[in-house]
Amino acid sequence: MNEMLSFLAAGYGTTSTALSWFIYFMSKNPQIQKKIKQELSEYHGQRLSIQQVESLTYLDYVLREVFRLAGPVTGTVRTLTADDQLPKSGAQLKKGDSVMITFYTLARDKRYWANLYDLNEFHPERYLDDPENKNNLSALIPFGGGHRQCMGQDLARFELKIICARLMQFVTFGDGGPELNAGGYDVTDTIKPKKLAVTITFD
């Protein structure tokens, strides 16, 4: 019962936060919003099957970029099982120490990403225009990694994708203005947009 309650509580907050960031980035990038709508156009507003949802590759890239730039959580903590040393600074780490892995830093570290687009800007094409596979996707771990990664990530990814797809079938988000729709970060249990104000046009 405790696992199920955790599953539901954690899934609600993080998925709704990711959806807020999706709406924010769409309002700021109408050309990307248009590309998603083009990918969805063959379905003419109909309900989508699992196979159809899975076929939406550009939307996958968009959501990947949402998670890269604005993951719902700051990072993860791991406890060392052996003594270690940081390679650059030489700092000594002891068994039992807790180490914070920040998703924000990994997502913007030039060592792990192809030099195609500014890492501080929203560009889903960075995954499309990477024929040599220079983007190290192990640096994109919004759900953690290894055997301790989020148990609900498959459900979270799927429900977020289907919600975003259905939204893009019927509405267009516009920018509510530089002051009201300024973005920024508001850190509570998740990392929410601090200022989010969009217009909604029904297509």
In CATH terms, the fold of domain 2-202 is Cytochrome p450 (1.10.630)
Angle at CA of residue 191, ends 188 and 196, nearest 5°: 105
- The pLDDT tens digits along the chain (203 residues) read 887 777 777 677 788 999 999 999 999 999 999 999 999 999 988 999 999 999 999 999 999 999 999 988 888 888 999 999 988 888 899 999 999 888 889 899 998 898 889 999 999 999 988 866 778 878 888 887 777 787 778 888 899 999 999 999 999 999 999 999 999 988 887 889 999 999 999 98
Alpha helical stretches, state H, 108-171:
125-128, 153-170
Whole-angstrom distance, CA of residue 102 vs CA of residue 99: 10
Instruction: Write down the pLDDT at residue 115.
Output: 87
pTM: 0.88
Q: For position 97, what pLDDT does the model report?
A: 93
Query: What pLDDT does residue 131 have?
Result: 66
The Cα–Cα gap between 99 and 77 comes to 6
Question: Which pair of structure tokens corresponds to residue 164?
Answer: 């975003």
Q: Produce one character per residue of 126-142: b if its CB has 16 or more CB atoms within 10 Å, e if not.
A: bbeeeeeeebeeebbbb
3-state helix, strand, coil split of the chain in percent (to 5) is 45, 15, 35
Known binding residue 150? Answer is yes
Domain boundaries, the chain: 2-202
Q: What is residue 173's predicted lDDT score, i.e. its pLDDT?
A: 98
